A and B are shown apart, each in its own frame.
Chain A
Amino acid sequence: MQKEVGEQPVRSERVGDVAVVHASDYLNKLSGERVERECRQRLEEGCRALVVDFHQTGMVNSIGVSILLGVIDAAERAGAPLVFFGVKEQAAHIFELLGLTRHVRLARDESEALDLISNSSSVGFFNNKSK
Chain B
Amino acid sequence: MPSAETAKLLHAFSALADLGEEIASTRDFEQMVRTTLHVVLGALGLRRGAVAECDAAGGSLNFVAAWGMGEDAPEELPFDSRLLDEANRDATDPSHFYESHLKTTFRAELDRWQVSLVAPLVVREELVGVILLGGKATGEALSLDESDIVRTMARHIGIGIHNHRLLREIEARAEDNRKLYEDQRAIYHNTVRAFAAAIDCKDKYTQGHSQRVGKYSEVIAREMGWADEAVETIAIGGYLHDVGKLVVERDIINAPYRIDAKQSSELNRHPAAGYEILAPIHLTDAIIPIIAKYHHERIDGRGYPEGLTGDEIPLSAKIVSVADSFDAMTTNRTYKRRLEFPEVVADFRKNTGKQFAPEAVVALFRAILRELEGETRERTFSRLLGRDYLRRDECQPLVIELLAELEAGESAAVGST
Contacts and interface: CB of A to CB of B under 8 A. Distances in A.
Interface of A: 28, 30, 61-67, 69-70, 72-73, 77, 89-90, 93-94, 97-100, 102-103
B354 interface: no
B184 to A, nearest CB: 41
A87 B181 CA distance: 59
Interface of B: 1, 4, 7-8, 11, 14-15, 18, 31, 34-35, 37-48, 67-68, 70, 136-140
A61 B42 contact: yes
A29 to B, nearest CB: 8
A88 to B, nearest CB: 12
A30 B35 contact: yes
Contact of A103 (B7, B42, B44, B137): B137
Contacts of A30: 31, 34-35, 38
A72 B136 CA distance: 13
Given A63-B18, A73-B70, A98 B44 contact: yes
Secondary structure call for the A interface: helix
Nearest to B71: A77
B14 A61 contact: yes
Contacts of B45: 65, 69, 97-100
A90 B7 CA distance: 9
Contacts of B8: 97-98
16 contacts: A30-B35, A61-B14, A61-B42, A63-B35, A63-B38, A64-B42, A65-B43, A65-B45, A66-B38, A69-B42, A69-B68, A70-B67, A73-B47, A97-B7, A98-B45, A99-B137
Contacts of A94: 7, 11
A62 B138 contact: no
Nearest to A76: B47
A94, A100, A102 — most chain B CB neighbours (10 Å): A94
Contacts of B43: 62, 65
Contact of B139 (A67, A77, A102): A102
B30 to A, nearest CB: 11
A63 B35 CA distance: 7
A65 B42 contact: yes
Given A97-B8, A98-B137, A61 B41 contact: no
Nearest to B69: A73
Contacts of B15: 61-62
Given A30-B35, A62-B15, A72 B41 contact: no
A62 B46 CA distance: 10
Contacts of A103: 137
Contacts of A62: 11, 14-15, 18, 38-43
